[in-house]
Structure 1
């Protein structure tokens, strides 16, 4: 995972106008390219010798190929819009950061069980969705099987089985309600969330194709 960081120093005379434009127009347009997972905007708490106010916008991107596609297909067009609107009233420089590890303390509100049998078992996907890795326990869902049909031709889903010996193996994780909303967004419109009882007796949420 990479972070595309843009640091901007903006003159006091256009600061409030620029800030509103960034939040309402520019950042949404960057995210609308479909290249980035999320954007975080922060103010740099330092008195600049050059004057003005400095901000940092960090765009999270899954890989180098996607970031290069942004440079090739979108960056120049969006930069021109900024220059046309604010001219020399701001100075920006850009850096690329590689995410090495993300560690978080225990989440006290993490009381929701999630059963993952597909991509959410991947540590890199977990970091992309939750900004942290998850620690889970092996478990399985009885009387179910992995469907031969793939959602969007790529992603797995499960189906009920008349054979009680069939099962879907996976991991059960404990997450917060807020994180469950992140999974909803990650799975998208093609999946639905259902509550099931795992072999361990744990009640957990699982995502299946909407026709399931």
Structure 2
């Protein structure tokens, strides 16, 4: 996993306007490219000799290929929008960080079953969400099918079907209660968590898209 870090020093006169634009417009547009898993915005706690306020925005990319695709397909257009809105009132520089490991407090015993059929099957995303690679087993969810409509136009979801023979293939993992809360945050408001019975007879949690 790679972190694309953008450090920006913003003039005091436009600081609040820029901050609002970043949170409501720019960062959502960067994430909408589908190239990043998440974004973290932080204020750098340092007094700048030349004035202004400094921020760091860290975007997590799955791998080098995905980050290079962002550079090629999206970065130039998004930077031009920034220049159009704020011109020379800010200075930005960019760095890349390679994630070597993530250490967290040991989790409590795993007692929840989680059925995944989409992005959480990817080991790099598992590392990002859980700080570990999950060990699971293949399973199926019957009477459900993959929806032709994707959440945000990018992410797969499933729907209950009227055909008992329909099935969705995936894997079932055992995770802790704390980790289920991490998944809640990862899936966000676009998904809802539902308990289902899998083909194996296991009662597991699955995330369904809140489709309009």
TM-score, normalisation: structure 2: 0.69
* Within-5 A mapping of 1:28-39: 28-39=28-39
How far the C-alpha of 1:139 sits from its partner, in A, is 6.9
Deviations 1:149-205 (A, max 9, x none): 9988xx9x9xx99xxxxxx985422243422424656xx88x984433898x97532
Deviations 1:17-76 (A, max 9, x none): 111111111111111111111110000000111211100000111111111111111111
Off by >6 Å, runs of 4+ in structure 1: 138-141, 149-152
Higher Rg: 1
RMSD value, Cα: 4.0
Secondary structure of 1:133 counterpart: coil
Greater shift, 43-52 or 172-181, is seen at: 172-181
Are 2:132 and 1:133 aligned?
yes
Contact 2:113–2:203 (CA under 8 A) maintained in structure 1 = yes
Secondary structure of 1:95 counterpart: strand
How far the C-alpha of 1:133 sits from its partner, in A, is 1.2
Residue ranges of structure 1 left out of the alignment (5+ in a row): 162-167
Contact 1:114–1:206 (CA under 8 A) maintained in structure 2 = yes
Are 2:73 and 1:84 aligned?
no
* Within-5 A mapping of 1:169-180: 171-176=173-178, 177-180=180-183
Separation in 1 of the partners of 2:4 and 2:94?
Answer: 7
TM-score, normalisation: structure 1: 0.69
